[in-house]
């Protein structure tokens, strides 16, 4: 293909265009490393979910009743409460991060920084809401020591929260680097890698929220 045909080729700002370009030219180390890390994390969470369902299937309370969650906690976990607000915020953060990625792909640094800042703030807000929700559950008597149910609930949500915390740090680093002018339409692998991780964390939470509150 001639240089002129390259120059005339239309710009593609679709969600996967950047990654597709990397695949054609060889996936960059940051993106490849993140994909491998996410693959290992999928197996990690799959193991946690398997342990949860095994515990749930074999649980019998002190009265010999097979009920999950146990009756004393059945009314505590309300999906249409603060936790739903936190869920919406986390989903919204994925939207703003994708908008930031689209912006840097077209060299819109203002849009990139604005949406990265929104994403960073939303990520912190999710963590604060989860911490507050924990405090409410503690007041209701649901703790890590509340039998198998409490153990599995706080293990699953706690590990996910730790991943969100790590993601917020990653977003903060990307935002700082963006403010320093380190990214452009040609060089933004770190943004791509961070977005892959954050979307993964978002999907895990949606699955987790559905399992814990609706199934």
125 falls within a domain: yes
Q: How many structural domains are present in the chain? A: 1
Question: Beta-strand (E) ranges in the chain?
Answer: none
10 falls within a domain: no
72 falls within a domain: yes
Mean pLDDT, the chain, as a whole number? 89
For the ranges 14-23, 35-44, 99-108, the lowest mean pLDDT is seen at: 14-23
185 falls within a domain: yes
18 falls within a domain: no
54 falls within a domain: yes
12 falls within a domain: no
What's the pTM value of the predicted model, to 2 decimals? Answer: 0.85
- DSSP codes, 151-183: HHHHHHHHHHHHHHHHHHHHHHHHHHHHHTT--
28 falls within a domain: no
pLDDT tier at 129, thresholds 50, 70, 90: very high
Expressed as residue numbers, the domain containing 195 is 35-214
Chain segment 131-176, per-residue pLDDT in tens: 999 999 999 999 999 999 999 999 999 999 999 999 999 999 999 9
- CATH of residue 40: 1.20.120.80
Q: Under 8 Å CB-to-CB from 56, ≥6 apart: which residues?
A: 68, 152
């Amino acid at each position: 293909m001639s240089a002129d045909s390259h120059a005339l080729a239309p710009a593609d700002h679709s969600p996967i265009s950047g990654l597709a370009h990397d695949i054609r030219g060889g996936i960059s180390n940051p993106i490849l490393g993140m994909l491998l890390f996410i693959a290992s994390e999928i197996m990690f969470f799959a193991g946690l979910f398997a342990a949860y369902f095994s515990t749930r299937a074999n649980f019998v309370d002190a009265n010999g009743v097979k009920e999950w969650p146990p009756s004393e906690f059945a009314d505590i976990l309300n999906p249409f409460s603060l936790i739903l607000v936190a869920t919406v915020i986390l989903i919204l953060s994925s939207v703003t991060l994708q908008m930031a990625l689209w912006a840097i792909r077209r060299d819109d640094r203002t849009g990139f920084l604005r949406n990265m800042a929104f994403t960073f703030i939303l990520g912190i807000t999710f963590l604060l809401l989860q911490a507050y929700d924990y405090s409410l559950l503690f007041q209701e008597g649901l703790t890590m020591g509340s039998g198998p149910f409490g153990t599995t609930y706080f293990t699953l949500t706690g590990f996910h929260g730790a991943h969100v915390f790590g993601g917020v740090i990653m977003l903060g680093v990307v935002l700082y680097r963006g403010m320093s002018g380190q990214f452009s339409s040609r060089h933004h692998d770190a943004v791509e890698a961070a977005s892959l991780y954050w979307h993964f964390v978002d999907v895990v939470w949606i699955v987790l929220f559905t399992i814990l509150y609706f199934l």
